Each structure stands twice: as C-alpha cells, then as structure tokens.
Amino acid sequence: MTIKIEHLNLKDHKVALDNPIFKLVAEAASEMGLDCYVIGGFVRDYLLARGIPKDIDIVAVGSGIALAEKVALKFQGRPRVSVFKNFGTAMIRHKGLELEFVGARKESYQRDSRKPIVENGTLEDDQKRRDFTINTMAISLNATDYGNLIDPFDGQNDLKNKLIRTPLDPNITYSDDPLRMMRAIRFATQLEFEIHIESLKSIANNKDRIKIISGERIVDELHKILECDKPSVGFSLLHKTGLLPYILPELVALEGIEEIEGQRHKDNFWHTLEVVDNIAKTTDNLWLRWAALLHDIGKAPTKKFHKKIGWTFHGHEFVGSKMVYKLFKRLHMPLNEKMKFVQKMVLMSSRPVILSEDFITDSAVRRLVFDAGDHVDDLMTLCEADITTKNPKKQKKYKHNFKVVRQKIEEVEARDHVRNFQPPISGEEIMKAFDLEPSKNIGIIKEAIKEAILEGEIPNEHEAAFALMLKKGSELGLLPKTDKYRTSSKN
C-alpha cells in the first residue's frame, strides 16, 4: 500500500523511543562504552507519522554483533541472535519487533559489483553510505543526547518537501549501487514524493548500470511498486529514466501509435499503465496486478495491418501467455502456480469481452466458468480494469455488459456447478460398466459427458451422465456388463 503523509512528527523524537526496549539497548551500549543510534527506515516512517514501525535498524559505533549479543541478554526470555558474519550484522526478533544491528561503516565501491569494500567508520560515514537523505536520519540512544535527531543532510526538509535526494553526489550514489535507482523510483511511488532533478538525470545517465543487479532484487522493487495505490507513477518513472528497456522490454515494445490509411490503434503501453492503476483500486492481489501489467504484451509481436479491417492483434493472448514464462524466467521469478495464474489471466483476458459483446448464452458462460475455474472472479476484475475508454457512453455500456456477465456467471454456477468441474462419472465407473481395461474409449466417453454438460444438453448430475455414458458406449460398439444397464441404455 502507498504510504500517505497525514502530518509530520517532526517535533518530539523522544516519543519514537517510547518502547522500553530502546532503554535496554541504550543500557547495553553504555555498559560496552559505545555509541548507538536508531537509523534509516524506522526514523523516516516515524517522522512520516505512520505509527511506530516494527523493523528497527540500530547502528553501533563499534561492533553491531557484540551489541546485539549484549542486548539479547537483557531481553526477557533471552531471544536468539541471528548473526550474519559476512555482512557484519545481527538480528533479534522480540515481541513482534525485528531489531537489526550493524556497526557504523565506511564503504567504497568497485565498478563491477554492488558489494562494497567496508571499513569501520563514524556515524556520519554510515549516514553518507545510505541511499537517500530521508533514509539517513538517526535518533541518538546515548546518555548525553538521548532522543536527539541527528540529521546532517537535512532529511527533515526533504520530508517536508516530499523529495527523494541522495546525501552525496547522485552520480556516485547510483553508480556505486544501481539498486538505489529502483529504490528511488519505488519510494517516489510509495510516498508520493518527487525525485530530485539531479537524481533523475543521474539515474538516466547510469541506467545501464542496472545490468549488475540481480533479477530477484529488481523484482522485489517491482513488487513494491505494483503494491502501491498508483503503480503507473513508478512505471512511468522507469520509462522516463530509460530503465524500463533493461527490465521489461516487452512493455516498452507496446509504446506508440501507428497510423496507416487513417486507421490508428491505441498506445498499448500507456493503456496498460491505466489498467494497472484501475486494478489497484479493486484488488490487493499482487499477481493479479502482474497480470494487468502483462495482459497485452502479446500485442507487439502479433500486430498487423489489413486494408479492409485495419489493425489486428490476432492470438495476442496466447502469444502473451507464452511470453510471461520467458519474462518470469529472465527475471528469476518463481515458475510456479503464481506464474501459471498470470499466464492463465493473460490467455483468457479477452474471453469475457467477447462474451459481453454478443448475445450471452448459458453454454458460453458455462465454458468460461469451466476454463477459468476458481479464477473467474479475478478474470472479471481484470476485464473491468481493462476498460479505459474516455467516452463516457461506451464506458457505461462496457461496465454494464460485464455486470450482466457477472450475474450470468452466478446464475449458471448456482445451477450447474462447473466452477471446479468434477466429472459426474469417473473413468473407473466407465471401465466397470463396460468391463474395460484402460483404453481410448474411456476418454472419449468422458469428453462426451463433459461437452454435453457444458453445452447444456444434460444437467451436471450422475443419472443423466450415466445414461449418456451407456448411449455413447453403444455408439462405440461397447456392451454394458449387466442387463440392468442394457435396458437403461435405450433412453
């Protein structure tokens, strides 16, 4: 969800430290004779008046790991300390909070990696290595200035002005760790902040550095952008800075309007972004939001112009669903049921549209419900979000049509139960009835029963299906095992 600023908590930083655990951290640090501070996301989110965050980053001027171990001894139940030696960090989970400890550090980078060379440093060194001024602020946990806000880069002012700005020269910040380009765009989308003009230029200049970032890290940020109230903000920034071709070239390929002989098609890139914003209003399902983002990607490779009928995108749903697999694989996304769900939504994305444009028959609705299964509501949500026409009359008509489709779905489902279709006659029953070994005929009979139900020729019930099985069997030259069945095969 997008973070909204109701008011800023810039006055009383001590309230941020109301939780008694901060006193215990302070006590442990003082006994060890080292200084420590709460820093980063916790301070930012506290000042943004988003309540007290659950993730707490503590920076120690000294060993973060040693401090964590000392702190754990002071907490009730002596929670376990998870130590990440390679990163010099340690984590404690306590009473629903996650405390992360790190030693203050100075970082220097090499060109081909986002892994810095790390040395011990001062608090200010540590603040400098952070990505944005709003993420550099620290609150002291030391006896001399407990509760004071330490803000050398004026993050408070940037919070007030809703600005994403780097503490150092942006060219250094982004080139050192190009993931920060994604983070800048993600924060701008989540917080509804602007990215400082110098930062924006620098992201554009450093865009090809994104190549050193792993798919997983990029996707984490894409997820967070998609989870915002208006994901289009993030995607247009990715587009504007030139990052998008490195990340989702399939979307970039949708941009533009072509005109031949006075016939134009819509710009499917900007249309897609509208669809994503629309769907963000009606669902929090991240994967359905992904489906909205990718629902038209098959349009670029299938686009054709025909003299008589104008622009077509035949088969774009099928092509698009195949492209989803390649895209997920390239970005190291999970190739599991989530991907299959996105593929299915893309593949079926035009089905309710075709239905709504025509006279709606029960059998067409049954087929839609049968094919979409449990995802039929999600599919309807996607199609409703896909309405981006600016013509109010059309807008109203399309919405109404989908309402009718939804009603029909409910009616048909209440009567025929095809949503999670379980054949009323199993293969085993067919084998038993005709005394058959597993063979092709069983499949033929099962398919005939399914088709008859979807077409509405028979109800989705055992008795009717059994009768049809006998009839089909006799057409195939099969003999039922008992006389009882022989008589009923007449109907």
Residue whose pair of structure tokens reads 């697999």 in the numeric block: 325
Q: How far is CA 391 from CA 388, 395, 486, in A?
A: 9, 6, 62
* 155-174 burial: b if 16+ Cβ within 10 Å, else e: bbebbeeebbbbbeebbebb
Nearer to ligand ATP, 57 or 250 (CB): 57
Q: How many CB atoms lie within 10 A of CB 473?
A: 23
Minimum gap (Å) between residue 186 Cβ and ligand ATP: 8
Q: How far is the CB of 101 from ligand ATP (least distance, A)?
A: 13
**Helices 286-294 & 376-385, crossing angle to 10 degrees?**
50
Which range, of 21-29, 47-55, 234-242, 341-349, touches Mg ion by CB under 5 A? 47-55
- Per CB under 6 A, the list member of 13, 180, 239, 344 interacting with ligand ATP is 180
Neighbouring C-alpha atoms within 13 Å toward the C-beta of 160: 7
Q: Minimum distance from CB of 221 to ligand ATP (Å)?
A: 9
d(CA 409, CA 369): 7
Which of 18, 31, 55, 208 touches Mg ion (CB under 5 A)? Answer: 55
Q: Is 70 exposed, middle or buried (0-12, 13-18, 19+ CB in 10 A)?
A: buried
| Residue number with CB closer to ligand ATP (87 or 318) | 87
Q: For residues 41 and 88, which CB has a smaller minimum distance to Mg ion in the complex?
A: 41
Residue 195 touches which member of ligand ATP, Mg ion, none, C-beta under 5-8 Å by kind = none
x/- mask, ligand ATP, residues 451-480, rule CB under 6 A, reads: ------------------------------
Q: Find the shortest distance in angstroms from Cβ 70 to ligand ATP.
A: 22
Q: What is the DSSP string of 395-444?
A: HHHHHHHHHHHHHHHHHHHHHH--TT---SS-HHHHHHHHT--S-HHHHH
CA angle 434, 437, 443 (to 5 degrees): 75
Q: Closest residue to ligand ATP, Cβ-based?
A: 41
- Quick one: 220 or 451, whose CB is closer to ligand ATP? 220
DSSP at 13: G
Nearer to ligand ATP, 186 or 375 (CB): 186
Query: CB of 58: closest distance to Mg ion in angstroms?
Result: 12
3-state DSSP assignment of residue 81: strand
180 binds, among Mg ion, ligand ATP, none (CB under 5 to 8 A by kind): ligand ATP
Element (H, E) at 108: strand 105-108
Subset of 108-167 contacting ligand ATP (CB under 6 A): 130-131, 135
DSSP secondary structure of 262-307: TEE---HHHHHHHHHHHHHHH---HHHHHHHHHTTTTHHHH-EEET
Q: Identify the residue among 16, 35, 46, 57 touching ligand ATP (CB under 6 A).
A: 57
In the list ligand ATP, Mg ion, none, the entry touching 94 (Cβ below 5 to 8 angstroms by class) is none
Task: Pick from 2, 9, 41, 377 the residue near ligand ATP by CB under 6 A.
Answer: 41
CB of 25 to ligand ATP, least distance (A): 17
CB 185 within 8 A of CB 237: yes
From 179-187, 317-325, 351-359, 421-429, span contacting ligand ATP (CB under 6 A): 179-187
Q: Which does 386 bind (CB under 5 to 8 A by kind): ligand ATP, Mg ion, none?
A: none
Rounded to a whole number of angstroms, the minimum distance from the CB of residue 177 to ligand ATP is: 5
Tokens (6 digits) for 304:
């054709």
Give the Cα separation of 484 and 467 in Å (integer): 12
Residue for token digits 């009882």?
A: 484
Q: Give the interface size with Mg ion as a residue count (CB under 5 A).
A: 2
Q: Which of 179/464 has CB closer to ligand ATP? A: 179
Total number of residues that touch ligand ATP (CB under 6 A) = 11
Angstrom distance (rounded) from CA 136 to CA 44 = 8
* Minimum CB distance to Mg ion, residue 40 (Å): 7
Cβ neighbors of 428 (< 8 A, separation 6 or more) are none
**Binding test (CB under 5 A) with Mg ion, winner from 2, 3, 5, 41:** 41
Which residue stretch of 176-184, 289-297, 314-322, 331-339 sits at the interface with ligand ATP (rule: CB under 6 A)? 176-184
Look at residue 231 and give its three-state secondary structure.
helix
Residue 68 interacts with which of ligand ATP, Mg ion, none, CB < 5 to 8 Å by class: none
Phi-psi region of 262 (alpha: psi -120 to 50; beta: other; left: phi over 0): left
Task: Select 177 or 296, whichever has its Cβ closest to ligand ATP.
Answer: 177
Interacting residues toward ligand ATP by CB under 6 A: 40-41, 55, 57, 130-131, 135, 177, 179-180, 183
Interacting residues toward Mg ion by CB under 5 A: 41, 55
